[in-house]
Structure 1
């Protein structure tokens, strides 16, 4: 998930989506190698941030965002 969010940083993206994606990337970065409770909290925060991104202005970035959303759902369903 972090890789998909990180990949959007080098793509031409509208300012507001870029801010949400940057914050989501940082939050997910905090979750790596963290206890399960922290992972769940951070991934939930990333899910909320990603919910504010409809279109980025880049088809490639939109694909990365969709993959990140799918991974978010997968991770949270495994933690339930």
Structure 2
């Protein structure tokens, strides 16, 4: 179990595999790590109130990790995971809290579109030109 956690932290810390897959494989690595962190909370004695939110977040993350999705869908579903994690509250378990914190970081990156899809910048919030002077 400790080895598995170390592997998850390595994936999220170093930006993913060096398999020549570019940004897409990094997204896949982060989706896998997101799911693994949330799945790990299911094995912990977490507070009942947090458990339902964590379970739903894990289900959404599992779907993202197992099924290909376009960048917009990844951002939307990662945003849902992020909201669920923020609503989960106190888990009452330190190990679960560490997994939730790591999952929050990953979900936030994915929801913001950091490195998701092609170049990670679809220009949706920029409005293009005219950034002010």
Q: Report how far residue 42 of structure 1 moved.
A: 0.9
**Counterpart secondary structure, 1:34:** coil
The whole-number CA distance in structure 2 between the counterparts of 1:51 and 1:8 is: 15
Which residue in 1 is equivalent to 2:54? 21
Of the three residues 23, 31, 37, the one matched with 2:72 is 37
Please identify the structure whose Cα radius of gyration is greater.
Answer: 2
Gaps of 5+ in 1: none
Q: Does the CA contact (< 8 Å) of 2:49 and 2:89 recur in 1?
A: no
Q: Report how far residue 29 of structure 1 moved.
A: 1.5
Structure 1 stretches of at least 4 aligned residues deviating more than 3 Å after TM superposition: none
TM-score by length of 1: 0.90
Gaps of 5+ in 2: 1-33, 122-133
Q: Report how far residue 48 of structure 1 moved.
A: 0.7
TM-score by length of 2: 0.56
Please provide the CA RMSD for this pair: 1.3
The whole-number CA distance in structure 2 between the counterparts of 1:19 and 1:10 is: 13
Q: Report how far residue 16 of structure 1 moved.
A: 1.3
Q: Does the CA contact (< 8 Å) of 1:17 and 1:53 recur in 2?
A: yes
The whole-number CA distance in structure 2 between the counterparts of 1:68 and 1:47 is: 8
